[in-house]
Amino acid sequence: MIATHNPGKLAEMRELLAPHGVEAVSAGELGLAEPEETGDSFRANAGIKAIAAAKATGLPAFADDSGLVVDALDGAPGIHSARWAGEGKDFMAAMTRIERLLQERGATAPEHRKAHFVSALCVAWPDDHLEEVEARVDGTLAWPPRGTAGFGYDPAFLPDGYTRTFGEMSSIEKHGLPPLGLGLSHRARAFVKLAEICLEPR
Residues in contact with ligand IMP by the rule CB under 6 A: 6, 37, 65-68, 81-82, 91, 117, 150-154, 166, 185, 187
Catalytic, out of 40, 65, 90, 127: 65
Name the residue among 65, 63, 33, 40 with its Cα closest to residue 51: 63
Nearest-CB residue to ligand IMP?
A: 152
CB nearer to ligand IMP: pick between 109 and 149: 149
CB nearer to ligand IMP: pick between 20 and 89: 89
Q: Say whether 64 is catalytic.
A: no
CB of 108 to ligand IMP, least distance (A): 23
CB of 83 to ligand IMP, least distance (A): 8
CB nearer to ligand IMP: pick between 27 and 102: 27
CB nearer to ligand IMP: pick between 66 and 109: 66
Name the residue among 167, 28, 27 with its Cα closest to residue 91: 167
CB of 19 to ligand IMP, least distance (A): 19
d(CA 91, CA 7): 14
d(CA 88, CA 120): 24
CB of 67 to ligand IMP, least distance (A): 4
CB of 66 to ligand IMP, least distance (A): 4
Instruction: Give the number of C-alpha atoms closer than 13 A to the C-alpha of residue 172, restricted to the C-beta side.
Output: 5
DSSP state of 82: T
CB nearer to ligand IMP: pick between 38 and 163: 38
Contacts 24+ apart (CB under 8 A), 43-46: 43/120, 43/122, 43/132, 43/134, 45/79, 45/120, 46/120, 46/121, 46/122, 46/132
d(CA 115, CA 139): 5
**In the β-sheet with 130-141, what is the strand arrangement from edge to edge?**
61-70, 114-124, 130-141, 157-159
Q: Which residues are catalytic?
A: 65
